[in-house]
Structure 1
């Protein structure tokens, strides 16, 4: 008897799950299905699992395709299961191609081609699957597809790009259902879209998607002016659609906990916030074009920290920016944001490197997040008496895009217009800081060599 094994969460059981089990079963005589436990899903960064373990096991049993069902509870269990159960073939979807090659020491390893296209049966019903499309095929779009597999109930199906050949190559690489030639065709076949294109295109694409009745998750900055962001928000409300800025740090568990600790009075009253984000970029979109530069590319992150820690209504904003020969955009900038009882500084750079830390100063102590603070998985509170110091550890899985996608999909299913993690007022305040900084930034040091 040829024994086959496969594993999965099997949440919101749909046609894709059924097809995978059917193809796995066809490879042998006896099919064993491992269903992940909640603790293992948490450990591996799987988000938004909506059904209990009992319900998910029931999904597999009711399919009639499994001869035996087991529970996967920890990393490394597959090696032991394969030996203990006398497995001949290990089967998994091609999303994981290469990840389980080490199991070839114990049995045959088969990666099945990804199921292309999953029907939606009502997004607010238990079995509803969110059909996602992507606009853009760049670096961040690639990360998004990889991260989406860690969010239950989401299926990335199609992609559109202004250069159709790029979209076709993207579909081939990630085994998506298709690459429509026109944007209206993409928007016609999906429930929600992720916009991953250059900054200056965000507003136009978001407007078209909302007008087509599609929910929008848009990369930061969603808009470079307050007026444009307000117009998009109004349109989303009119159409009862979710519009969310994909500012991943806002949705990361570590950042949320850091803000909660800082604002809980642990370090006293906050008097200062200093946030820095720099990276060295020599060429490409970040430093070329009318909307490029350190402020538009990076300032959303320190502005997020400032707004979340000090509020949405600063008294004044001043900025200085540096441009060097051969560049028409800012490669380094510092923004000072004054509040009635606190001051903040945001430092960003594409041509200057600095320590990327976040420091929140209070009347009783201070909070320190080491670089890269925007990927928060660890921070400390420090006091005059070092015996009171405390260290905090939280997960930050993968590239972090899974957190924003999980919140976005939950908002759609729950009919929520905004998330406490990044309220509309937060996005508007960040847009206001961005607009004022880019408009009013004074040059310093002249043109430098």
Structure 2
């Protein structure tokens, strides 16, 4: 049994609890949050120990932590957990920037502990089935990716809009698009970003055009428009549409140059975070300190993409 502690008891932690019920041999036994009232509510609903401090959480009988806070604290809590000898699954983005990520990955290496950024799409049954299908019926070399999401239903006081908590569309939504572009097109070689703030301290809409080792991507993210949320992956022999919401994928269509159209349906269960959590727990059992899917190098590339994009539109956070 792998015992986990949760740092942060906001919305994403509730989805995590929905998923972990489906992960065999794993349980959450302790929780802590910067807001004491949220911890009490959390353990009253799910069980486990409510900790008064992060030190108490890290001193408890847990093997790993799931960091579910906003990005402003990811690096700090990751370092604290690793120094306490705990494996770390940290919500995306792993840190605010590359300067923060480097020490986290170096410490994980020194401590021989697992650090993994939480990036759910590649672990979904649909995404895995799609990749497997393409091995025998490929669309040829991929040269273009288009993806994005814009949501208008966040309440005005949502932390996504907070400068101090490292909010904004690029930091909260674009990590998914960055993953997709890098996964299909390889390392980024150039980027052009346009964005608007719409009266906020953080970006409310941004468009990223990126050049990669194997092609180009056009990506968007936002909070002041409502976008469709599908993804297009284009190769020489056909193209793939991952239908909305592509980051929680359950259906894809492959249209081939020869006129064939293939539908792939693969529903997910328990909110979807269960798949990356299962992967994380299996890595711990196998003594692995890095995911072969969300590698440390991929995390570096995703953070670099977000950081460069932010700086191009003039968004720098404290200390940058």
TM range (shorter): over 0.9
Query: Does structure 2 retain, via aligned residues, the 8 Å contact 1:254–1:376?
Result: yes
Displacement of 1:439: 1.2
CA distance in structure 2 between the partners assigned to 1:413 and 1:345 by the alignment = 38
CA distance in structure 1 between the partners assigned to 2:46 and 2:130 by the alignment = 35
- Give the corresponding residue for 2:223: 350
Task: Give the counterpart of 1:155 among 15, 27, 30.
Answer: 27
Q: How does 1:39-438 map to 2 (within 5 A)?
A: 129-176=1-48, 178-189=49-60, 190-261=62-133, 266-280=138-152, 281-283=154-156, 284-290=158-164, 291-311=166-186, 313-325=187-199, 327-386=200-259, 388-438=260-310
Query: Does structure 1 retain, via aligned residues, the 8 Å contact 2:7–2:67?
Result: yes
**2:188 counterpart SS class:** coil
**1:146 counterpart SS class:** helix
**2:69 counterpart SS class:** coil
Query: Does structure 1 retain, via aligned residues, the 8 Å contact 2:18–2:271?
Result: no
Deviations 1:345-399, CA, capped at 9 Å, x for gaps: 111111111221110111111111111111111111102343x211112232121
Q: Structure 1 regions of 5+ residues with no counterpart?
A: 1-128, 444-449
CA distance in structure 2 between the partners assigned to 1:158 and 1:293 by the alignment = 30
Which one scores higher on RCO, CA 8 angstroms, separation ≥ 6? 2
Return the TM-score normalized by structure 2: 0.92
Return the TM-score normalized by structure 1: 0.66
CA distance in structure 1 between the partners assigned to 2:42 and 2:212 by the alignment = 46
How many positions carry a matched residue from both structures? 311
Aligned in 2, Cα 1:237/1:341: closer, same or farther, shift over 3 Å? closer
**For the aligned residues, what is the CA RMSD?**
1.7
Aligned in 2, Cα 1:138/1:340: closer, same or farther, shift over 3 Å? closer
Whose radius of gyration is greater, 1 or 2? 1
- Comparing 342-351 with 262-271, greater Cα deviation is found at 262-271
Deviations 1:29-80, CA, capped at 9 Å, x for gaps: xxxxxxxxxxxxxxxxxxxxxxxxxxxxxxxxxxxxxxxxxxxxxxxxxxxx
Query: Does structure 2 retain, via aligned residues, the 8 Å contact 1:250–1:304?
Result: no
CA distance in structure 2 between the partners assigned to 1:138 and 1:421 by the alignment = 26
